[in-house]
């Protein structure tokens, strides 16, 4: 007799916990062959707000951790993901219908991306900061600081794109509300399980699944969100309206890319620097 599977309920990941959508809604997610994989939670405006609240609450603690500590936490996510490599390969194969080799390439790249970004935590300040030689007897130093809470529309796809947009934000001390790829929400929630067991404080990353067109406008117009990454917004009218909504409190905005991004390539710094502020401190020099 074959054993009956224990299926997983895919919920949201907010504040370190896995709540259902308060709306009680879900939507069907099929695999590449069109068979039912699961019902994913369909997040609502209230879920989006709860996620922002959780991200804001997590920000002071996360942003004031030492860079070394943040580096280790992000590295820890890579470690835990490495341990669950086979699970993610299987999920990618099911969701995307790709070969095992291809799925493995993307999972490995995602793990390596986390390792790459982990190392930036205590170096980005040295690369983008400056001691400024002002024309007077003053100490003058510019250092980067995280912008705050950043809302992200993750690019299409289950894993590598998601990690490539989230890792640069958290390693620099921002906290994140990310809307997972609408078509591939399940792996995002499994990734939430990885983050929940990687010493990442609850609320640093919050994952919403559901309709981008429904949820993103609430995040774009939310006055307690400081940044908006529109990488995954494919509809250019929606991208324009989100950018305009984000202007209300002068959010830092990363527009959708002009051409599709090859996530396998090594990143540059712009995903970190777009959501960094430069603080310049002056002090007189004298006896």
Partner 1 sequence: MMVSTSSTSGRTNSTGERTSSTNRAFEYAPAPESRSIVDIKPSYGLFINGEFVDGTGTSFKTINPASEEVLAEISEASEADVDLAVKAARRAYTRVWSKLSGAERAKYLYRIARIIQERGRELAVLESIDNGKPIKESRDVDIPIVAAHFFYYAGWADKLSHAGYGTTPLGVAGQVIPWNFPLLMLAWKIAPALACGNTVVLKPAETTPLTALLFAEICQQADLPPGVVNIVTGAGDTGRALVSHPDVDKVAFTGSTDVGRHIAKAVAGSRKKVTLELGGKAANIVFDDAALDQAVEGIVNGIFFNQGHVCCAGSRLLVQESVADEVMEKLKRRMSTLRVGDPLDKNTDIGAINSAEQLAKIRELSDIGEAEGSERWSPACELPTTGFWFPPTVFTGVSQAHRIAREEIFGPVLSVLTFRTPAEAVEKANNTPFGLSAGVWTEKGSRILWMANQLRAGVVWANTFNKFDPTSPFGGYKESGYGREGGRHGLEAYLKVESQR
No. of helices (H) and no. of strands (E), the chain: 10, 10
Distance CA 73, CA 56 (A): 19
Distance CA 125, CA 135 (A): 24
Task: Examine residue 30 and tell whether it contacts partner 1 (CB under 8 A).
Answer: no
Phi first, then psi, for residue 107 (nearest 5°) are -65, -45
Task: Examine residue 67 and tell whether it contacts partner 1 (CB under 8 A).
Answer: no
Selected from 162, 200, 271, 272, the binder of partner 1 by CB under 8 A is 271
Selected from 6, 35, 266, 287, the binder of partner 1 by CB under 8 A is 266
Q: State the binding string over 155-194 for partner 1 (x if CB under 8 A, else -).
A: ---------x------------------------------
How many chain residues interact with partner 1 (CB under 8 A)? 49
Stretch of 65-73, 81-89, 173-181, 265-273 lying at the interface with partner 1 (CB under 8 A): 265-273
Token representation of residue 247: 């202007």
Structural element, H or E, at residue 9: none
Token representation of residue 195: 């983050």
Selected from 32, 90, 127, 183, the binder of partner 1 by CB under 8 A is 127
Task: Examine residue 9 and tell whether it contacts partner 1 (CB under 8 A).
Answer: no
Stretch of 4-12, 19-27, 36-44, 126-134 lying at the interface with partner 1 (CB under 8 A): 126-134
**Full 3-state SS string of 42-104:** CCCHHHHHHHHHHHHHHHHHHHCCCHHHHHHHHHHHHHHHHHCHHHHHHHHHHHHCCCHHHHH
Phi first, then psi, for residue 158 (nearest 5°) are -85, -35
Task: Examine residue 279 and tell whether it contacts partner 1 (CB under 8 A).
Answer: yes
Selected from 7, 33, 34, 136, the binder of partner 1 by CB under 8 A is 136
Stretch of 29-37, 82-90, 176-184, 250-258 lying at the interface with partner 1 (CB under 8 A): 250-258
Selected from 45, 142, 196, 201, the binder of partner 1 by CB under 8 A is 142
Pairing mode of beta strands 205-208, 276-284: unpaired
Task: Examine residue 116 and tell whether it contacts partner 1 (CB under 8 A).
Answer: no
Q: Name, in order, each residue with C-beta under 8 angstroms of 36's C-beta and a sequence gap of 6 or more.
A: 28, 29, 30
Task: Examine residue 265 and tell whether it contacts partner 1 (CB under 8 A).
Answer: yes
Phi first, then psi, for residue 138 (nearest 5°) are -135, 140
Q: Name, in order, each residue with C-beta under 8 angstroms of 227's C-beta and a sequence gap of 6 or more.
A: 147, 148, 149, 150, 151, 174, 251, 252, 253, 254, 274, 275
Selected from 66, 99, 197, 249, the binder of partner 1 by CB under 8 A is 249
Selected from 30, 66, 126, 236, the binder of partner 1 by CB under 8 A is 236
Task: Examine residue 287 and tell whether it contacts partner 1 (CB under 8 A).
Answer: no
Structural element, H or E, at residue 117: helix 100-118
Task: Examine residue 209 and tell whether it contacts partner 1 (CB under 8 A).
Answer: no
Query: Nearest distance from residue 249's CB to partner 1, in Å?
Result: 6
- 245-260 burial code (b ≥16 CB/10 A, e <16): bbeeeebbbbbbeeee
Residues that bind partner 1 (CB under 8 A): 64, 127-128, 130, 132-136, 138, 140, 142, 147, 164, 226, 231, 236, 239-241, 243-244, 246-250, 252, 254-255, 257-258, 261-263, 265-268, 270-271, 277-284
């Amino acid at each position: 007799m074959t054993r009956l599977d224990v299926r997983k309920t895919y919920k949201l990941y907010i504040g370190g916990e896995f709540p259902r959508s308060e709306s009680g809604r879900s939507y069907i997610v099929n695999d590449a062959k069109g068979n039912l994989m699961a019902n994913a939670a369909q997040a609502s405006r209230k879920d989006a707000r709860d996620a922002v609240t959780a991200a804001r609450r997590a920000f002071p603690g996360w942003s004031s951790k030492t860079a070394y500590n943040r580096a280790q936490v992000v590295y820890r996510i890579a470690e835990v993901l490495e341990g669950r490599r086979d699970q993610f390969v299987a999920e990618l194969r099911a969701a995307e219908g790709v070969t095992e080799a291809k799925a493995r390439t993307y999972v490995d790249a995602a793990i390596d991306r986390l390792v790459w970004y982990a190392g930036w935590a205590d170096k980005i300040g040295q690369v983008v900061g400056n001691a400024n030689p002002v024309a007077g007897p003053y100490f003058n130093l510019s250092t980067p600081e995280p912008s705050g809470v950043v809302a992200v529309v993750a690019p299409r796809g289950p894993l590598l794109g998601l990690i490539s947009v989230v890792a640069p934000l958290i390693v620099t001390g921002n906290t994140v509300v990310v809307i997972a790829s609408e078509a591939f929400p399940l792996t995002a929630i499994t990734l939430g399980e990885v983050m929940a067991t990687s010493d990442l404080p609850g609320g640093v990353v919050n994952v919403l699944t559901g309709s981008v067109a429904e949820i993103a406008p609430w995040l774009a117009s939310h006055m307690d969100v400081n940044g908006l990454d529109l990488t995954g917004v494919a509809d250019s009218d929606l991208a324009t309206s989100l950018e305009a909504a984000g202007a209300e409190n002068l959010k830092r905005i990363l527009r959708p890319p002009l051409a599709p991004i090859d996530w396998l390539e090594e990143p540059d710094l712009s995903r970190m620097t777009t959501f960094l502020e430069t603080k310049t401190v002056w002090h007189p020099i004298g006896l």
